[in-house]
Amino acid sequence: MTEAAELPPAPEQARTVFGDRFADAVRYAELLAEAGVQRGLIGPREVPRLWERHLLNCAVLSEVVPEGVTVCDVGSGAGLPGIPLALVREDLKITLLEPLLRRTNFLTEVVELLGLDHVTVVRGRAEEVMGKVPSVHVVTARAVAPLDRLATWGIPLLRPYGEMLALKGDTAEEELKSAATALSKLGAVETSILHVGEGVVDPLSTVVRVEVGESPGGVRFAAKKAKAARAGRARRRR
């Protein structure tokens, strides 16, 4: 296919970043360039910049993810940033959360093909799975929604004192200011903007970090989560 032929060779930085998983990263890039384009998961114009703009840009998020934690990649789409993160961090337990069937089918195929045993694919919207899936230490997201809306989906999935890491572009500072009130209501206690990928990507990847306190999502979401958990236990007893 024309799209596959346009995929450039992996840059040298990719060998360093992905290490033993470099061959799997190459295969993932090929899958994005072929099946990803054919199924409408990414646009054909993205193929020439898959490495710098997508795989490496997402993989460097690992610099700010703590060791051995659970992660939920909200609105995972074609697996960005969840799959690059999984390739470089086998110490993490990652859930790829995505509502669209054609995307979850692709994600499941990729996870199986690459042998990512520490990755689970879940079909659903964040607001639907709250209380039905275990809370996580870290929520990740990329190009899903403006920060205030993303926070209403992602923060309630966190454990107490967890954090949301959202890959953003030039609008990061503006979005953070606009979302300040909403974030506070959702239980955020600290926010910051981080730049990662020194020596790997240019420009650096921008990450908005939102840290929460003991009530992720605030009081309203705590009640909703508890209600969903009770309903889940009742269904299991039947």
Residue 3 has pLDDT above 60, yes or no: no
DSSP state of 70: E
Pairing of strands 158-168, 93-98: unpaired
Instruction: Give pLDDT tens digits for 53-64.
Output: 999 999 999 999
- In the prediction, which pLDDT does 162 show? 98
Residue of 78, 81, 85, 83 whose CA lies nearest to 43: 78
Residues 96-119 have pLDDT tens digits of: 999 999 999 999 999 999 999 999
Q: What is the pLDDT of residue 217?
A: 85
Q: How far apart are CA 43 and CA 31, in angstroms?
A: 13
Average pLDDT over residues 69-77: 97
Identify the pLDDT of residue 200.
Answer: 97
Report pLDDT for 13.
97
Residue-level pLDDT at 21: 98
> What residues contact residue 223 under an 8 Å CB cut-off, 6+ apart?
none
pLDDT at 144 over 90: no
pLDDT tens for 8-43 read: 999 999 999 999 999 999 999 999 999 999 999 999
Position 147 pLDDT exceeds 90: yes
Model confidence pLDDT, tens digit, residues 192-228: 999 999 999 999 999 999 999 998 987 666 666 666 6
pLDDT of 141 strictly over 90: yes
* pTM of the shown model: 0.90
Q: What is the mean pLDDT of the chain?
A: 92
Question: Is residue 81 reached through a cis peptide bond, with omega within 30 degrees of 0 on the bond before it?
Answer: yes
Can you state the angle between helices 22-31 and 101-114, rounded to 10 degrees?
Answer: 150
pLDDT tens track for 150-194: 999 999 999 999 999 999 999 999 999 999 999 999 999 999 999
A 10 A CB-CB count for 150 gives 25
